[in-house]
Structure 1
């Protein structure tokens, strides 16, 4: 019983650390988003995916929710661009995709790690996190812009669709490749840690 409580406490501490990292990444843009030339890569989804890999689907849901909530709050308090205001003022766009990022990344890792090695599972998990975030954020944005005939100035809903597709093509592909490559580089040493391996046996 004491061992179980100790393990639970350690897992909560680790989850709290992931949440703290996401808060810092959200508040300090260059820690949560990386720009290479004209390509912008989101790093926060890697933190969410790694939390789901190490601590399970519920942890992924929680860290994803924190990320989404912070995106929603930031769009009202300190937006970095008009597009951020337009997209993330809507809680469905800001929060729902990020919750699903954590859930689907965790599920992808669990399914593949049972059949293949952990490295491939981590790569696919990172890729799933990236694709989920890109597709759902832009897809929901397109739905609200076009389905509800939203406009901003002289820009019509159809024009917004092309803008969003441009973002997906410019950033989404590179972001997916980056997540596929980097996630196992971070996760593999953690999974090999004897202390973490013992801690994670409870999931």
Structure 2
């Protein structure tokens, strides 16, 4: 039984890794609407957290973080901001790109388990999907401001604004669209996987 369960987890882990890499390195992971670029790459991280728990979420989050960092050096795409941050401090650029995504996946596993004990799988998946995009944005922007906020590059972007106003203006409607899409898609996929028994059943807590 344990062997079958472990095999199933490895299959899901490999599948989510493959899907994330496909989305990260093809237009499938992004929806470009005029100047907007909305990413769906947070969704495989959420699905991994739902099906595999905190460790699985962290693993796929780490894959997401690595693909994001590699774009700083032009591998699998390019990021103008990432390239600039890499030129300022390669190590801090790695931390800023990698750690928030891995931490996001780790926490999503706990969030799903916590909510699942108090409601059904569909609602727990919806909450996890929302948190996937929300926490990704919060952690990414927090790391950006903390690690690079005093650099000339970031000071130029901030332009003397209040830091909260800068963050809200910087992420803009992109973050809102990502949260909506991640919530809806993760909710649907998570509920389907639960019905297919790919999600471990949890007993609701009493009292």
TM-score by length of 2: 0.83
In 1: Cα distance, 2:140 partner to 2:30 partner = 16
Paired position in structure 2 for 1:127: 130
Choose 77-86 or 122-131, whichever is displaced more. Answer: 77-86
TM-score by length of 1: 0.84
Paired position in structure 1 for 2:17: 19
In 1: Cα distance, 2:193 partner to 2:55 partner = 19
Paired position in structure 1 for 2:72: 75
Uncovered stretches (5+) of structure 1, i.e. residues with no partner: none
In 2: Cα distance, 1:121 partner to 1:185 partner = 11
What do you get for the CA RMSD once the two structures are aligned?
Answer: 2.4
**How far is the alpha carbon of 1:34 from its aligned partner?**
1.7
Paired position in structure 1 for 2:176: 173
The question of whether the paired residues in 1 share the 8 Å contact of 2:50 and 2:125 is answered with: yes
Q: Secondary structure at 1:116's aligned position in 2?
A: coil
Paired position in structure 1 for 2:192: 189
The question of whether the paired residues in 2 share the 8 Å contact of 1:109 and 1:122 is answered with: yes
In 1: Cα distance, 2:2 partner to 2:102 partner = 28
In 2: Cα distance, 1:117 partner to 1:165 partner = 32
Q: 1:81 to 1:12 in 2, by over 3 A?
A: closer
Uncovered stretches (5+) of structure 2, i.e. residues with no partner: 203-207
**How far is the alpha carbon of 1:97 from its aligned partner?**
0.6
The question of whether the paired residues in 2 share the 8 Å contact of 1:145 and 1:157 is answered with: no
In 1: Cα distance, 2:119 partner to 2:85 partner = 38
**How far is the alpha carbon of 1:99 from its aligned partner?**
0.5
The question of whether the paired residues in 2 share the 8 Å contact of 1:87 and 1:94 is answered with: no
**How far is the alpha carbon of 1:52 from its aligned partner?**
0.7
In 2: Cα distance, 1:76 partner to 1:145 partner = 18
1:144 and 2:177 matched: no
Equivalent residues, number: 193
